[in-house]
Amino acid sequence: MSRTRVAVLISGRGSNMAALIEAAKRADYPAEIALVVSNVPDAGGLATASAAGIATTTVDHRAFGKDRAAFERALQDVLVQHRIELVCLAGFMRLLTPWFVAQWPQRMLNIHPALLPSFKGLDTHRRALEAGVKLHGATVHFVVPEMDSGPIVAQGAVPVHDQDTEAALAARVLAVEHRIYPLALRLVAEGRVSVAGNRCRIAKAAAPHTALIVPLD
Q: Does 210 score more than 90 pLDDT?
A: no
Per-residue pLDDT reduced to its tens digit, 2-20:
899 999 999 999 999 999 9
**Within this chain, do residues 7 and 94 fall inside the same structural domain, yes or no?**
yes
Mean pLDDT of the chain: 96
Q: How far apart are CA 10 and CA 94, in angstroms?
A: 9
Distance of CA 129 to the CA centre of its chain: 23
Distance of CA 54 to the CA centre of its chain: 18
The verdict on residue 77 lying in a domain is: yes
Residue 89 bridge partners (DSSP): 9, 110
The pLDDT assigned to 208 comes to 78
Name the nearest CA neighbour of 14 among 110, 89, 86.
89
**Within this chain, do residues 202 and 153 fall inside the same structural domain, yes or no?**
yes
The pLDDT assigned to 62 comes to 96
- Domain boundary at 104, 125, 154, which? 104
**CATH number reported for the structural domain that contains residue 140 in this entry:** 3.40.50.170
The pLDDT assigned to 110 comes to 98
Q: How far apart are CA 166 and CA 91, in angstroms?
A: 18
**Within this chain, do residues 61 and 122 fall inside the same structural domain, yes or no?**
no
pTM for the whole thing? 0.96
The pLDDT assigned to 209 comes to 74
- Domain boundary at 104, 134, 165, which? 104
**Within this chain, do residues 41 and 139 fall inside the same structural domain, yes or no?**
no
Q: Does 212 score more than 90 pLDDT?
A: no
The verdict on residue 214 lying in a domain is: no
**Within this chain, do residues 56 and 121 fall inside the same structural domain, yes or no?**
no
The pLDDT assigned to 85 comes to 98
Q: Does 73 score more than 90 pLDDT?
A: yes
Q: Does 58 score more than 70 pLDDT?
A: yes
Q: Residue 164 belongs to what domain range?
A: 111-207
- Whether 178 sits among the annotated catalytic residues: the reply is no
**Within this chain, do residues 186 and 141 fall inside the same structural domain, yes or no?**
yes
The verdict on residue 57 lying in a domain is: yes
Q: Are 9 and 40 in contact (CB under 8 A)?
A: no
Distance of CA 108 to the CA centre of its chain: 9
**Within this chain, do residues 53 and 130 fall inside the same structural domain, yes or no?**
no
The pLDDT assigned to 211 comes to 84
Among 61, 112, 125, 136, which one carries the catalytic annotation? 112
Q: What percent of the chain has pLDDT over 70?
A: 100
- Domain boundary at 69, 88, 104, which? 104
At 207, phi and psi to the nearest 5? -90, 135
**Within this chain, do residues 142 and 196 fall inside the same structural domain, yes or no?**
yes
Question: Measured on CA atoms in the order 58, 149, 73, 102, is the torsion positive or negative?
Answer: positive
Element (H, E) at 20: helix 15-24
Per-residue pLDDT reduced to its tens digit, 13-48:
999 999 999 999 999 999 999 999 999 999 999 999
Helix (H, G, I), strand (E, B) or coil at 62: helix
**Within this chain, do residues 152 and 196 fall inside the same structural domain, yes or no?**
yes
Per-residue pLDDT reduced to its tens digit, 122-174:
999 999 999 999 999 999 999 999 999 999 999 999 999 999 999 999 999 99
Name the nearest CA neighbour of 43 among 59, 25, 23.
59
Name the nearest CA neighbour of 98 among 140, 51, 147, 56.
147
Q: What is the mean pLDDT of residues 178-206?
A: 96
**Within this chain, do residues 199 and 127 fall inside the same structural domain, yes or no?**
yes
